[in-house]
Structures are given as structure tokens and as C-alpha cells.
């Protein structure tokens, strides 16, 4: 069976509506010959671009997601976005607990758990991000931190919803301009920690949950990262924001697990 590789990007607080729709159009064009049996391609734009993006993007080629979501459908939550509002735009994927939400906006594991549950209960796919800070790595508690984020973030999730759960491992020290990418050996070691924890939580079904690596993924390190047995996909920031660079990164790596060539 072909192994599907996950490729995604979070546009963070970059790209306005026009830039987002143009980016998506170019990315669709450039990648449309690659069979979606071989890959799942997703883009997570800003909220303000999401509606236009949803109207102009062919979902057969690119899945769109939201960067965050409230754990309630409606109520006194000024500034928040409800799962129903996302679904109204046809959005079925939501990222939860990105490192900037956790460390800049101070979200807790308990909040991430409420959001994951809410997304799954609404039939959406939840992409839960986990990862340790540089300090936690120095203290040599990376595994404990990752396992805690998973155990709290995924608390009380029924096995029947696991097919709509994706995990991204994004060490905080690896993300952004000042980040150092994790070596592929380190990424593999932590992906194994994650997969073991998911199996511990959910049994055999846990081992089927895709685990993506993120944090300074670029065209130079992508091949070696995706070649690791426990890395199921690449979650890319800066190196994906130019559609042609993202396209070449995808083409370099998409058939690595299946052994065929493009
Ligand atoms: P980066 O971002 O690839 O620019 O380091 C990764 C992320 O924040 O998801």
C-alpha cells in the first residue's frame, strides 16, 4: 500500500487575503500532477483569509485548516471563533496548541484538550502540536514534557475519533528565524517517544496516528527528516511560504517512503 506523506504549512500572521488566494492558486497548479494517494497537502491561513481561500481553492488538491478554535460553539467568548463558524466556511481541519499559542498566548494543556475534544466531536480533524522548549531540553525532560502534552491534550478521546487526529512534533527551539532545526536522528527519537505514548494511550490504533515534524524544515534537511521511519510528514513554516520552494521541497520527498520516483 502507498504510504501517504503529510505536507502542511501554517501561514501564521503573514499573507493578506489577496496574497493567500494567489499563493494557494499557484501551489495547486504546481502540485496538481502529484497523486493525492501519495500525499495529504494542507495549508493553514489566517482567519481573515480563510473564507476567500475556501471559496477559491479546490479541496481535492489542498485541505484548508484554521490556526485555532474555541472549545465552545457559542457564548460570551469575545474574539474567539466557533467550530460552527469554521464549518460554515467548509473548514474541517483545525490546528491546536501551536507553540506560539502555548508560549506567547499562554494556552495550557487543559485548554488544548478542550479544543481537541470540541474539534473531534464536531467531526473535524484536529492537528495537535507538541514540543519542548530549549530549557526543558537542557533539563533533559523533553520526553516527560511531550508525554504530558499528549496525555493531557488527548485525555478522554474515544478510539472511534482517532482517524481524525494528527500530531505535529515541533520543538520550540527549532521554530522560526532564530531556531535550529532538529537533527533527523533527534526528530526520529522524539517521534518514537510520541508513537510509544500514543500506543500506550490508544493501543494499536494509536500507532496509526500520523506524526509530522516541524521546526525549520527546509529543502536541505527535508529528505533526511522524511527518511526517518517514524516521521510521517513535514510541517513547514518559512520554507513553504513561497509556493515554488514548497513545491520543490514536496517533489524532493514525496516518493521517498514509497520508493518510486517522480
Ligand atoms: P518554521 O516554522 O518552519 O518557519 O520554523 C514552523 C512552525 O512554526 O510551524
**Model confidence at 261: pLDDT above 60:** no
- For position 3, what pLDDT does the model report? 80
State whether residue 7 is helix, strand or coil.
strand
CA distance readout (Å), 88 to 17, 24, 42, 64: 18, 20, 19, 13
237 CA to centre of ligand 1 in angstroms: 4
- For position 239, what pLDDT does the model report? 97
CA distance 119 to 42: 17
Read off the pLDDT of residues 89-102 as tens digits, 9 standing for 90 and up: 999 999 999 999 99
Read off the pLDDT of residues 66-77 as tens digits, 9 standing for 90 and up: 999 999 999 999
Mean predicted confidence (pLDDT) in 218-239: 97
Query: Ligand 1 pocket, 125 CB below 6 A?
Result: no
122 carries an active-site annotation: no
Could you tell me the residue range of the domain that residue 152 belongs to? Answer: 5-258
Q: How many domains does the chain fold into? A: 1
Query: Ligand 1 pocket, 215 CB below 6 A?
Result: yes
- For position 126, what pLDDT does the model report? 98
The per-residue pLDDT of the chain, averaged, comes to 96
Mean predicted confidence (pLDDT) in 207-231: 97
- The CATH number given to whatever domain includes residue 244 is 3.20.20.70
Confidence grade of residue 259 (pLDDT, cut at 50, 70, 90): low
- For position 258, what pLDDT does the model report? 74
pTM: 0.96
240 CA to centre of ligand 1 in angstroms: 9
Query: Ligand 1 pocket, 8 CB below 6 A?
Result: no
Amino acid at each position: 500500500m502507498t504510504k501517504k506523506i503529510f505536507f502542511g504549512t501554517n501561514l501564521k500572521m503573514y499573507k493578506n487575503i489577496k496574497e493567500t488566494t494567489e499563493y494557494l492558486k499557484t501551489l495547486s497548479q504546481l502540485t496538481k500532477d502529484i497523486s493525492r494517494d501519495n500525499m495529504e497537502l494542507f495549508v493553514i491561513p489566517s482567519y481573515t483569509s480563510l473564507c476567500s481561500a475556501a471559496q477559491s481553492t479546490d479541496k481535492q488538491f489542498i485541505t484548508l485548516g484554521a490556526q485555532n478554535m474555541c472549545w465552545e460553539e457559542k457564548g460570551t467568548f469575545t474574539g474567539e471563533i466557533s467550530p460552527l463558524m469554521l464549518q460554515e466556511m467548509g473548514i474541517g481541519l483545525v490546528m491546536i496548541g501551536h507553540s506560539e499559542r502555548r508560549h506567547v498566548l499562554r494556552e495550557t494543556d487543559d485548554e488544548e484538550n478542550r479544543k481537541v475534544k470540541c474539534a473531534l466531536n464536531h467531526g473535524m480533524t484536529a492537528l495537535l502540536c507538541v514540543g519542548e522548549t530549549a530549557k526543558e531540553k537542557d533539563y533533559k525532560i523533553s520526553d516527560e514534557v511531550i508525554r504530558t502534552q499528549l496525555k493531557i491534550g488527548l485525555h478522554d478521546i474515544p478510539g472511534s475519533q482517532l482517524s481524525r487526529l494528527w500530531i505535529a512534533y515541533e520543538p520550540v527551539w527549532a521554530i522560526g528565524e532564530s531556531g535550529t532545526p532538529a537533527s533527523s536522528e533527534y526528530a526520529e527519537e522524539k517521534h518514537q517517544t510520541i508513537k510509544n505514548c500514543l500506543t500506550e494511550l490508544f493501543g494499536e490504533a494509536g500507532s496509526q496516528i500520523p506524526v509530522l515534524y516541524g521546526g525549520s524544515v527546509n529543502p536541505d534537511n527535508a529528505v533526511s527528516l522524511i527518511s526517518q521511519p517514524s516521521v510521517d510528514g513535514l510541517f513547514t513554516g518559512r520554507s513553504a511560504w513561497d509556493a515554488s520552494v514548497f513545491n520543490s521541497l514536496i517533489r524532493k520527498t514525496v516518493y521517498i517512503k514509497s520508493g518510486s520516483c517522480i
